[in-house]
Amino acid sequence: MKSPSDIRVYPAGQASRAAYILAHGAGAGQRSPFIVTFAGALAALGVDVVTFDFLYMEEGRRLPDRAPQLEATYRAVIEDVLQKRGTAPFSLFIGGKSMGGRIATQVAAADPTLPIAGLVLLGYPLHPPGQPERRRDAHLPAVKRPMLFVQGSRDAFGTPAELEPILASLEPKPTLHVIDRGDHSFKRGGRDAKAQAATFDEIQRDVVSWMSAIAG
């Protein structure tokens, strides 16, 4: 599987020993406001952030590729990052928004030898909206790395209450950061732009704090 042609790096504003591959969700690519905002903010807080487009998005197709193709693309990006960082000491985190985060967990579950320090999952899609029986969690016990789940309390793809019993059975036990009244993109409703920006800032700082604790 070839690597995406446009792998973007948001360098940290200071010397960084952590890198985070932030993959996009199913419906919007790496240039979406959500991905650009979070990548820039995390970089400003001291983490090198890498974004990319899955090949279906790069080629202008509407429907995502099948899981094996998505996983192969993600794996190619991981290998690209590892190669470019060389022997420099750093901790690599993977994850992403919705589908991007799910594919990251599948990549990690499939290969326990990948040098991944942890996973940051922004709105994990536990199931399609309105179809709670179609759960996407069977592979999670095989991840066996630290995981941070950031989940809105009214996420139609899976609420924190649905995730909690699943996460409680995993080792190491994941961290769950709940966004009160947040939806799948952590929007709390209303038109208060400052309040929404503060919510995003809270998430971004929590993510970097969690990474720093894992990376030591």
Q: Say what the pTM is.
A: 0.94
Would you say residue 124 lies in a domain? yes
CATH number at residue 31: 3.40.50.1820
| Residue numbers of the domain that contains 125 | 8-215
Mean pLDDT value across residues 193-215: 94
Q: Are 143 and 119 in contact (CB under 8 A)?
A: yes
Torsion angle of C-alpha atoms 90, 147, 184, 35, degrees rounded to 10: 10
3-state secondary structure of 192: coil
Q: Using alpha carbons, list the distances in angstroms from residue 109 to 7, 19, 119, 121, 131.
A: 23, 20, 11, 14, 24
In whole angstroms, give the CA distance from residue 148 to residue 30: 21
Q: Are 8 and 38 in contact (CB under 8 A)?
A: no
Residue 16 pLDDT > 90: no
Q: Are 78 and 4 in contact (CB under 8 A)?
A: no
| Residue reference for tokens 């709940």 | 178
Would you say residue 64 lies in a domain? yes
Residue 193 pLDDT > 90: no
Count of domains forming the chain: 1
Would you say residue 163 lies in a domain? yes
Would you say residue 1 lies in a domain? no
Residue 90 pLDDT > 90: no
pLDDT-derived band at 92 (thresholds 50, 70, 90) equals very high
Would you say residue 63 lies in a domain? yes
Mutual angle of helices 67-85 and 99-110, in 10-degree steps: 80
Would you say residue 2 lies in a domain? no
Helix%, strand%, coil% for the chain, nearest 5: 40, 15, 45
Q: What is the mean pLDDT of the chain?
A: 93
Q: Are 194 and 1 in contact (CB under 8 A)?
A: no
Element (H, E) at 49: strand 48-51
Would you say residue 174 lies in a domain? yes
Would you say residue 3 lies in a domain? no
What pLDDT is stored for residue 191 in this prediction?
79
Tens of pLDDT, residues 65-75: 999 999 999 99
Q: Using alpha carbons, list the distances in angstroms from residue 100 to 54, 71, 152, 181, 192.
A: 9, 10, 17, 23, 28
